[in-house]
């Protein structure tokens, strides 16, 4: 079974650092980009960026460039999303998703999703 | 950056009725548009990719159409499990992005 399993919920204080993970299984991890999507409480979906686990190439939405770091370790089939200094406005649910293309165009159709990681930032 | 506008924001229907959801792009996205369903407390699920192709395991009552700037997701006869929020998403230009969502609620 193809699946993405994310790390557990986090509660942090403003200014702290954080790294959450997303482990893929059931497919060739290096064959697909992995990306992250934010969903703030009661709001819609926001695409953050993607990483190619094969060569660690990354692409970011301008809204998130410089705010987070996306990476992957292909040896353990795991992608990461990290912050160096959290803000209260980072409080949200974060989903990882396998990205693919169905023949042409950007590899950004999300066909498999993780269960989500809740991040709460509060003093 | 391409903006996707979904309408209506909320659709109130009864089981068995037909649902028609709209997604309009601020510029052409060709057919590089997907639809996702999200139920409360769950991750989104891919329904339709490249405007009109059902993803694996998606029932035939879901169909997508359109190209360029105007797209439609149709649910031919609503089942109880179809009441959820639906998002469109384009992958034509960077960055890929989502529409604001349409909630299909029980009337």
> What pairs with residue B86 in β-bridges?
B37, B102
Quote the CA–CA distance of A97 and A103 in Å, as a whole number. Answer: 19
Residues A54-64 pLDDT 10s: 999 999 999 99
CB contact under 8 A, B101 and A44: yes
Report pLDDT for A100.
Answer: 87
> 3-state class of A45 per DSSP?
strand
Mutate to test the interface with B, among A110, A114, A116 (most CBs of B within 10 A): A110
Q: Does the pLDDT of residue A23 top 90, yes or no?
A: yes
- For residue A11, the distance in angstroms to the closest alpha carbon of chain B comes to 19
Please give the pLDDT value at position B46.
98
Tell me what pLDDT residue A74 has: 96
Q: Encoding tokens for residue B19?
A: 């649902």
Q: What is the structure's pLDDT at A107?
A: 82
Long-range pairs, A75-79, Cβ under 8 A, ≥24: A76/A23, A77/A23, A77/A24, A77/A25, A77/A29, A77/A53, A78/A21, A78/A22, A78/A23, A78/A24, A79/A21, A79/A22, A79/A24, A79/A34, A79/A36, A79/A51, A79/A53
Name the nearest CA neighbour of A89 among A43, A48, A120.
A120
How does DSSP assign B11-76, residue by residue? Answer: EEE-TTS-EEEEEEESS--TT-EEEEEE-TTS--EEEEETTTEEPTT--TTEEEEEETTEEEEEES
- Are the beta carbons of A47 and B89 separated by less than 8 Å? yes
Confidence grade of residue A101 (pLDDT, cut at 50, 70, 90): confident
Nearest to A45 among B94, B95, B98 (CB): B98
Q: What is the DSSP letter of A31?
A: G
The rounded distance, in Å, linking the Cα atoms of A92 and A11 is 11
DSSP string, A53-81: TTT--EEE-TTTBTTBEEEEEGGGTEEEE
- pLDDT tens, position by position, A34-84: 999 999 999 999 999 999 999 999 999 999 999 999 999 999 999 999 999
- List, as ranges, residues 38-77 from B with C-beta within 8 Å of A: 38, 43-46, 49-50, 53, 55-56
A58 close to B (CB below 8 A): no
Element (H, E) at A47: strand A45-51
Q: pLDDT digits over B63-104, tens only?
A: 999 999 999 999 999 999 999 999 999 999 999 999 999 999
Inter-chain Cβ pairs, chain A and chain B, closer than 8 A: 71
């Amino acid at each position: 079974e193809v699946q993405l399993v994310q790390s557990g919920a986090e509660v942090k204080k403003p200014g702290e650092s954080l790294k959450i993970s997303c482990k893929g299984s059931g497919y060739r991890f290096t064959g697909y980009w992995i990306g992250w999507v934010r969903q703030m409480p009661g709001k819609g979906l926001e695409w953050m960026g993607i990483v190619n686990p094969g060569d660690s190439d990354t692409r970011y939405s301008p809204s998130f460039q410089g705010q987070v770091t996306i990476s992957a370790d292909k040896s353990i089939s795991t992608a990461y999303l990290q912050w160096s200094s959290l803000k209260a406005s980072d409080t949200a649910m974060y989903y990882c998703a396998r990205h693919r293309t169905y023949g042409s165009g950007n590899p950004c159709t999300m066909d498999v999703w993780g269960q989500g990681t809740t991040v709460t930032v509060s003093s | 950056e391409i903006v996707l506008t979904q309408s209506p924001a909320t659709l109130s229907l009864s089981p068995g009725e037909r649902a028609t959801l709209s997604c309009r792009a601020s510029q052409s996205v060709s057919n590089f548009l997907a639809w996702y369903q999200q139920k409360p407390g769950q991750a989104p699920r891919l329904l339709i990719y490249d405007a009109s192709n059902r993803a694996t395991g998606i029932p035939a009552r879901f169909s997508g159409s359109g190209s360029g700037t105007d797209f439609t997701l149709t649910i031919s006869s609503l089942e109880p499990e179809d009441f959820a929020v639906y998002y469109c998403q384009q992958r034509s230009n960077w960055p890929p992005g989502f529409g604001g969502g349409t909630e299909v609620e029980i009337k």
